[in-house]
A and B are shown apart, each in its own frame.
Chain A
Amino acid sequence: MNKTKSGQVVLNAPYLLWSAIFIVVPLLFVVYYAFTTANGSFTFNNIINFFTNEQYMTVFWRSMLYAVWATVISLVIAYPFSYCMSKVNASSQRMLMLLVMLPMLMNLVVRTYSWQQILEKNGLVNTLLESIGLEPIQFLGNAGVIIFGMVYNYLPFMILPIYSSISKVDKSLLEASNDLGCNTFGTIQKVILPLSIPGVLSGITMVFVPCVSTFYISRQFSDGNIKMIGDVIEDKFYRSSVPDYNIGATISLVLMLIILISLAVVNKFSDDDDQTGGVVI
């Protein structure tokens, strides 16, 4: 017994050390900077400044709004897709899975940059529109395009957990539902939907979290015009001629808290943690 315990400690040590150095210590730095002034003395002013600054609040609510939209749209697309995917034969499922995964093999920056070029004023889409006699459209710089960019980039994170929870629904339950007189819609509504909720919830968190902290997508798809909270953090640390780590860290901390709160809310809804498809973050 004792032997196993010390063995476990030895086996766990590298992971604990890793988490401590690369997760806990950076977090402590963020907390430290968020609650100190440039001289290192303790203060609550950063937090107060953040919540009373008109610009930061604009950006904050914008980020939340865009992230909610992107999550809802992803869900609306992903659920029917996942359902259909789970209904086709095994080889088609593998093929569809490959198609969903393929874009993720490319770096987010490259994918986003390519889309920016496609949507440009003289880009592929507008060239096509003009060749069939339509007016070119100014895509870049619209909120819709940024949300599109987020949906495009994070949709696989919604599809995968939903697909995995739908496809693991016991077939005998579906047969039972049919035998007892449910039509397809009834089966979806009464059997599949409730059983796939854990997948939906983890999909929501996996899309909402990266969306709310997005920065590169918004910059590329708005030519730097529409700032999201991630952009502001980047500016604070990196672009400003007077880098302000304190307010930068404060914004990061607030963002982390928002994410934790949304995770907690989502977890409240999932009463059964043992369900398949749930992803622990």
Chain B
Amino acid sequence: MKKLICAVIAVLLIVGLFGLSFLGESNTDVDVIDEQYYKNDYTGIELNVFNWGEYISDGSEGALDVIGAFERKTGIKVNYTTFDSNESMYAKLKSGSVSYDIIIPSDYMIDRMRKEGMLKEIDYSKVPNYKLIDEKYHAQYFDPEDKYTVPYSVGMVGLIYNKKMVKEEPDSWGAMWDERYKGNILTFNNSRDAFAIAQFYLGLDVNSTDKSDWDKAAAKLKEQNPILQGRVMDEVFNKMQAGNAAMAPYYAGDYLTMADINPDLGFVYPKEGTNIFIDSMCIPSNSKNYEAAMMFINFMLEPEVALANAEYICYASPNTAVVDHPDYSLAGNEFLYPENQDAIKTEYYKDLDDETRKYFEKLWEEVIIN
């Protein structure tokens, strides 16, 4: 009987959730800088957008429905699909079975795609809002001449810890090897990110192609095995929010989401350095709607749109119109926009050659299977 009641409650909850999601009217009203720019007649065109999951303001909870607003303003139909790793996005594009007009991959993957000729140059004169991008995000290593990319979002990995379980504020990745927290330490369930922590801690280059460097990092990770609670990705939200683990490395923006629910959580950028990433909008070389794609990119840079996206995804924005916006709730946030930004050592992942990747994936298997 108890199970029956539980099931009935579960069903009611699900039905209730659906009801609620239909109640909220989505907001597609947006003011743009230059109304005239969107006046071209693109009616009937379809744009294929390929983005990370949960990576655009989708109109939930009264926020701006960015895709809806774009469709309403331009008459272009947007087919929006999502991926959950750079690698799966790359594999799909490489297979050639689909064509996309806009993709938003991370730095190292952009570097690889650029070198393989998979990206089309952007005509920045058609993207007038590009001027809003902060100078310091220009000419990054993955696009040294600013030809292919428009930065969308910036994030950094840090160490999230539970102040009730971790007495003194950790300042080093070494905390993740501290016996006192045995059974309470989480790490990434993803080879590159997990290796990077050991590499930072040991002072090794995260982009090393020297096999002995990877051997050292793997040995360090094996050392961590007995005191680890587990390897997680998005499960980290529940774990940290409920106080089921003492510490976990994750992204600053996601920490803000967790800290909203569990105020006992703290966050530090360890002194040895950490990973930084920039996700940028690009146009694949097989795009069929080049002009409309640039219009979409321009629309994503509109202050109101970029603001809605920045609020939704909680990562740092490279858009000056967002950072200076009076309504931006995360403006000057100490974790997203740390004052001592320059004092924090950061490293981008670079695209590694096939041999190195195969080598560290093999080591990773030895670390995780025991």
Contact = CB atoms under 8 A, between A and B. Distances in A.
A225 B245 CA distance: 15
Given A122-B242, A241-B87, A225 B230 contact: yes
A242 B230 contact: no
Nearest to B243: A122
Interface string B331-351: 000000000000000000000
Contacts of B87: 240-241, 243
A75 to B, nearest CB: 23
Interface in B348-370: 354, 357-358, 361, 365-366, 368-370
Interface string A210-234: 0000000000101111010000100
A117 B244 CA distance: 10
Interface stretch (A1-9, A102-110, A157-165, A168-176): A102-110
A238 interface: yes
B190 interface: yes
Contact of A242 (B186, B189, B235, B358): B358
A227 B369 CA distance: 6
B244 A122 contact: yes
A259 interface: no
Interface residues of A, number: 31
B147 interface: no
Interface string A88-124: 0000000000110011011000000000010011110
Contacts of A243: 87, 91
Nearest to B192: A241
Given A242-B357, A243-B91, A102 B7 contact: yes
Interface string B91-105: 100000000000000
Please provide the 3 A-B residue pairs with the shortest distance between their CB atoms, ordered closest to farther. Answer: A223-B230, A224-B231, A55-B369
24 contacts: A55-B365, A55-B369, A56-B369, A58-B370, A99-B3, A99-B4, A102-B7, A106-B7, A120-B239, A121-B244, A121-B245, A123-B244, A140-B229, A141-B229, A223-B230, A223-B231, A224-B189, A224-B230, A224-B368, A239-B85, A239-B189, A240-B191, A242-B354, A242-B361
Interface of B: 3-4, 7, 10, 85, 87-88, 91, 183, 186, 189-192, 228-232, 235, 238-239, 242-245, 354, 357-358, 361, 365-366, 368-370
Given A56-B369, A120-B244, A238-B88, 4 more contacts: A122-B244, A138-B183, A223-B232, A241-B361
